[in-house]
Amino acid sequence: MQNHIKFIFLSHIIFISIGFAKALCYNNGNFTANSTYANNRYQILYSLPHNVSANTGYFSTSLGQEPNKIYAHGLCRGDVTTESCFNCINSTSQQLMEECPNQKEATLWGGEGPCLVRYGNRSISGTLVLDPAQAGYNIAKISSNMTQFDEVWEPLMERVIDRASSGSPRMKFATEEVRLTEFQNIYALMLCTPDLSQSDCGDCLKENVGNYQRCCHGYQGGYSQRPSCYLRWDLYPFYNASASPPAPPPPSLSPPPSPSSNSPPVTTNTTNANDDDNGGIEPRTVAAIVVPTVTFIAFLALTCIFLIQRRRKRYQEVENADEVESSLQFDLAMIRNATDNFSEANKLGQGGFGAVYKGTLPDGQYVAVKRLSRHSSQGEVEFKNEVLLMTKLQHRNLVRLLGFCLAGIERLLIYEFVPNLSLDHFLFDPTKRALLNWQNRYRIIGGIARGLLYLHEDSRLRIIHRDLKAGNIMLDEEMSPKISDFGMAKLFEGDQTQDDTSRVVGTYGYMAPEYAMHGHFSVKSDVYSFGVLVLEIISGQKINRFCYGEDAEDLLTCAWKNWNGGTVSNLVDPILRVGSRSEMIRCFHIALLCVQENEASRPTMASVVLMLSSSSVSLSAPLRPAFFSGTFVDSEASASTTTADKSKSESVKFTTNEASITDLVPR
């Protein structure tokens, strides 16, 4: 089974990241580079993202003359935005060309959607293709009675097949959810290429259901796909229900009782007590109808005006991008020269959205250039978001943005060069961590806290970072911290303190529970991430790997056990032989307060800065931290946000590491 699915497991919470990273390159003919067919393929796939996104998520076309004629189509899910569709088709098309460099026919369910791109040297429109079939499943087993589960799951599959297959020639797509238990629902999504007939679409989806039952029955969610159709289901809402076709109400468990034949006939009284003798309506009745109606219309109009003004204000920063562009845009040729054409020798590391390179500008100034990956999920919105936010933020504990470059498919961010790279390069390295004595670590903790306080309260913009982790803390020549990577940041307006999202982004392990499960985020979400980071700084261990006694457990589990047992010193990095033990224990105490399960119990960053700066401030007793479980599954997968790009092996892998989640719907 190919590695098309990633699973990130923590206690009772499961996230699935779909990334169909391997293209299907058919062996029915090849072409040579620079040939007419190669040029036709490039042109048709280059234009496909725009055509698919501009035509409600599906587009089929052909280009050229025989024998070099090429056919192609692209398909997006019916619940994604136009921009997401464009980005998915774009990245999938590029990946298809890279992985099938000279094959005349290929197919790929790719991107974050996923979306489908298929091309060939023969007509593919209206053709049902069932092979090859692929499937993946969740690592966790279904906890409920399987007989009861099947009685709910199988009728759900049948209903969604019927609705998807009976769709229009523009979209054969359907979603539905059904109650499994009092606290749990089943969510299902299916789609076919809309050029299929209703019967072909239904047959394809039935094959997917059967394939999933044969390979993966008993697991909590997964997918089954073929070149012509796609199925996914899970126990959490992974799709955008508001953008999906409305599902019919679920069938009743038992039909309503039929009326008895002995029952008296039902009569309807049409007499209105307020009618006058001439059949008119009294004035007070008219008033009772008209006044509430007018009031409601007025209220609705005011609400619409308020929402329009709020939306304009929210996107005002994006609309002002042209003002930023004139003063901060760098020339691509200059950046290529500065980085020696992005040479490996100048590569500083691999970030969440691509590689980072060291560069030298013509005036001798060193810079760090973040180059957005072609297959990254970050689009224009995230790119402009980071540029517009960073240009307005000035603080010694934030990395300074010098400018950007947007040319063709290249998207570059140019930052001040921070010579000591990121905190994780030192903290989790057996040799380099010795350079982080307690004095340095205490200064780093304080600097991060002050940087977050600036973002939350002191800047003229209230910003939630949403991806605070050791890899996003840069260290300058004096080992002072600078918070970086604002591509996931969220801007709050005025007195706004919290918000909800259907798109959970950030890094697993640092996510607050209310954000990971419900998409609810606030300043307290960053506080939680800060608490996790402090525990890592004190212990020198990653959040998801830590040894407690003879058993491997996560850091939060160990922290709580040692706190209750009065053995906090067990978690202190053994390298820290010199330093104030009282400061270490106090920081440990503050970290536990920051990772409380109830967000209201967590301190604000203003309180954290006060606690760190004054030992006279008393600290409340912490409760059990969020996600405390006592057990944890370990893995050695990459900790970057590009994990999906690095997992192109032949077997499905399950990971509990810090792999970032970029397009998931929360439980």
Q: How many Å apart are CA 95 and CA 21, to the nearest integer?
A: 8
Give the highest mean pLDDT range of 4-18, 69-83, 234-248, 268-282.
69-83
- The catalytic residue positions are 467
> What is the model's pLDDT at position 336?
93
Helices (H), 55-178: 82-99, 146-165
> What is the model's pLDDT at position 6?
33
Give yes or no for residue 640 having a pLDDT over 80.
Answer: no
Q: Which two structure tokens, joined as six digits, stand for 545? A: 């790997």
Place of tokens 């019967």: 199
Give yes or no for residue 311 having a pLDDT over 70.
Answer: no
> What is the model's pLDDT at position 665?
29
> What is the model's pLDDT at position 138?
80
Give yes or no for residue 199 having a pLDDT over 70.
Answer: yes
- With a CB cutoff of 8 Å and minimum separation 6, the contacts of 150 are none
Nearest to 71 by CA among 94, 53, 48: 48
Q: pLDDT higher for 28 or 583? A: 583
Q: pLDDT higher for 127 or 293? A: 127
Backbone angles phi, psi at 43, to 5 degrees: -65, -40
Q: How many Å apart are CA 138 and CA 507, to the nearest integer?
A: 20
> What is the model's pLDDT at position 309?
65
The pLDDT-based confidence of 136 (bands split at 50, 70, 90) is confident
Q: Which two structure tokens, joined as six digits, stand for 10? A: 């923590």
The pLDDT-based confidence of 266 (bands split at 50, 70, 90) is very low
Region 534-545: what's the mean pLDDT?
Answer: 88
Are the C-beta atoms of 448 and 396 separated by less than 8 Å?
Answer: no
Give yes or no for residue 546 having a pLDDT over 70.
Answer: no
Q: pLDDT higher for 632 or 46? A: 46
Q: How many Å apart are CA 630 and CA 107, to the nearest integer?
A: 44
Q: How many Å apart are CA 409 and CA 354, to the nearest integer?
A: 13
Q: How many Å apart are CA 142 and CA 149, to the nearest integer?
A: 9
Q: Which two structure tokens, joined as six digits, stand for 60? A: 């089929």
Q: What is the pTM of this model?
A: 0.48
For 630, how many CA atoms within 13 A lie in the half-sphere containing its CB? 0
Q: pLDDT higher for 520 or 163? A: 163
Percent of the chain with pLDDT over 90: 34
